[in-house]
Amino acid sequence: AGSGHPHRFALQSQGEGFAIDLEVESRKPPVVHGVGGVSKKGEPDRETSHYYSLTRLSTTGTVQVEDVWLPVEGESWMDHEFGSADLAENLVGWDWFSIQLANGREIMAYWLREADGTFAPASSGTIVNPDGSSHSLTRGDMEVAVEQFWTSSRSGARYPNQWQFAIPSRQITLRLVPRMADQELVTERSTGVTYWEGAVDVTGTWQGRDIEGRGYVELTGYAEPYRPGS
């Protein structure tokens, strides 16, 4: 629910043995991804979305686990994406990175994955500067290499589980390492999709200087091709 400020929110949720009560406030204006406000998800014009993020949210509040309330503080990231169609037929899923770096910058990278494991030309990204201005990235601007994999004992899916990510033209090289290997979600009682989504630690270099940060990765289409509602 809103709390009188356009980019300040009160978030509450609870379930069996778990609850959150958080206040979040954006340090930067919304970032609109894509070119001209359009984020492509395929080659035809109909395979597009509108996609914006609040990439640096100051966050405080409490998390309840069973009978224990834990005070928490940190930084969050909010995404909102809505589109005109599902993924292109040749795509089976995506690998999505959100990265908050200690130099006040953020990176979003959206890798659209084809059946043979390669990434489609429509894959894209965004760099967000400390002042909130941003720069769009194309598939050709970005490089990614998987350094380790993890196989789920529940679904049998084999997920990438450590990455080397680079933007050569900007002299950025980063390593993303999950905080724990098993962050798979099996959502039989909601969306029915099995995917990997979780926290990563980030280290590397930015224009020759050491950098660190944190991030979040979402991997879909590894247990089965991503087809919502199927």
With cut-offs at 50, 70 and 90, classify the pLDDT of residue 230.
Answer: very low
Provide the percentage of residues in the chain whose pLDDT is more than 70. Answer: 90
With cut-offs at 50, 70 and 90, classify the pLDDT of residue 2.
Answer: very low
Neighbour tally for 4: CB within 10 Å: 5
pTM of the model: 0.90
Amino acid at 180: M
Beta-bridge mates of residue 91: 114
- The predicted pLDDT at position 187 comes to 84
With cut-offs at 50, 70 and 90, classify the pLDDT of residue 217.
Answer: very high
Looking at the chain, which runs of residues are DSSP E strands? 8-15, 18-26, 31-32, 39-40, 48-65, 68-83, 91-101, 106-114, 124-128, 134-138, 143-151, 158-167, 172-178, 184-186, 194-206, 209-219
